[in-house]
Amino acid sequence: MKIPAKLKRMLTQLGFLMIVAIIAWQELHRPPIKSPSDAYPYLTSISPALVKQCIHENRTAPTIPLEELIAIRSTIPESEAQALINQLKNQVPFSAIDWGLLSKVTQNKVKRHKEILNQYTYYQPNVYKFPVIGTTWFGDSFGADREGGIRRHEGTDLFGKEGTPIVSICGGKVEQLGWNRLGGERVGIRGDDGNYYYYAHLKSIATTLVKGNRVQFGEPLGTMGHTGDALTTPDHLHFGIELPNGQWINPYPFLAVWQYWDEEKGS
């Protein structure tokens, strides 16, 4: 029996719609991206000063990838690190480095750190954006006592003038929006990297934001304020990073480097 051409077209369209629906369902129900247990402890242990040193060094030797410089300098002492970097400056590929007397354990550690820096691009330029547009100051207060030691500070406070614009550090999806007791007016973004980025104590939230919708790198989220439990403190943005496993990590080293990249771009 011959199937009419119109019915064929309808069946083809129905099949296409079913495939799209299956793909969409899989995306919506895909489990969160899991991070290796060694990735973030290493990333947050790197001092911003060392990253900036490697950025300057990369400018004098641009053929050496930044992640190779950071991996070497953050893992082994200066005297041993320089011998390896000199080889890279002489066009020796990382894979062909003469490790000298360094143990196999140390060699594997450097290689693993290079892999992490390649995969988690927090220290690369133009991948993440500093969240405050304007004058701000901040320190490393992660883990400090809050409410008399009842809880710990799970982020970094960036102080500035009320109304200072706040933007998204990366692309992602709006997961939380509006008021809660501690954060006041807050925005929560599930980044494209799988992490949850928390922006709290805002004076106002951008009216363009809709829960469930996407935001882009650098998109306005709102303005700095002191809402929630920050009512009696100076105006500031509380910025937090929560991994898919529910662990909050220290944003300070990332923020310091993102600010540096932004300042470099503007200079």
The answer to whether residue 107 is domain-embedded is: yes
Whether residue 144 sits in one domain with residue 206: yes
113 and 150 co-located in one domain = no
150 shares its domain with 237: yes
Residues 81 and 143 in one domain: no
Residue 34 in any domain: the answer is no
Q: Which of 119, 152, 169 is the last residue of a domain?
A: 119
**Are 152 and 199 in a shared domain?**
yes
Indicate whether 181 and 208 sit together in one domain. yes
Q: Are residues 149 and 236 in the same domain?
A: yes
Query: Has residue 266 been placed in a domain?
Result: no
Q: Are residues 239 and 182 in the same domain?
A: yes
112 and 182 share one domain: no
Domain that includes residue 154, residue range: 137-252
262 domain residue, yes or no = no
Q: Are residues 99 and 161 in the same domain?
A: no
Secondary structure of the chain in HEC code, one letter for each residue:
CCCCHHHHHHHHHHHHHHHHHHHHHHHHCCCCCCCCCCHHHHHCCCCHHHHHHHHHHHHHCCCCCHHHHHHHHCCCCHHHHHHHHHHHHCCCCHHHCCCCCCCHHHHHHHHHHHHHHHHCCCCCCCCCCCCECCCCEECCCCCCEECCCCEECCCEEEECCCCCEEECCCCEEEEEEEEECCCEEEEEEEECCCCEEEEEEEEEECCCCCCCCEECCCCEEEEEECCHHHCCCCCEEEEEEECCCCCEECCHHHHHHHHHHHHHHHC
Q: Are residues 154 and 183 in the same domain?
A: yes
Number of domains in the chain: 2
In a domain, 31, yes or no: no
Asked if residue 20 belongs to a domain, the reply is no
Which CATH number fits the domain that encloses residue 158?
Answer: 2.70.70.10
| 215 belongs to a structural domain | yes
Looking at the structure, do residues 214 and 150 belong to the same domain, yes or no? yes
**Tens digit of pLDDT per residue, the chain (267 long)?**
556 666 666 666 666 566 655 554 454 444 444 567 899 999 999 999 999 999 999 999 999 999 999 999 999 999 899 999 999 999 999 999 999 999 999 999 999 999 999 999 999 999 999 999 999 999 998 876 555 545 576 899 999 999 999 999 999 999 999 999 988 999 999 999 999 999 999 999 999 999 999 999 999 999 999 999 888 899 999 999 999 999 999 999 999 999 999 988 765
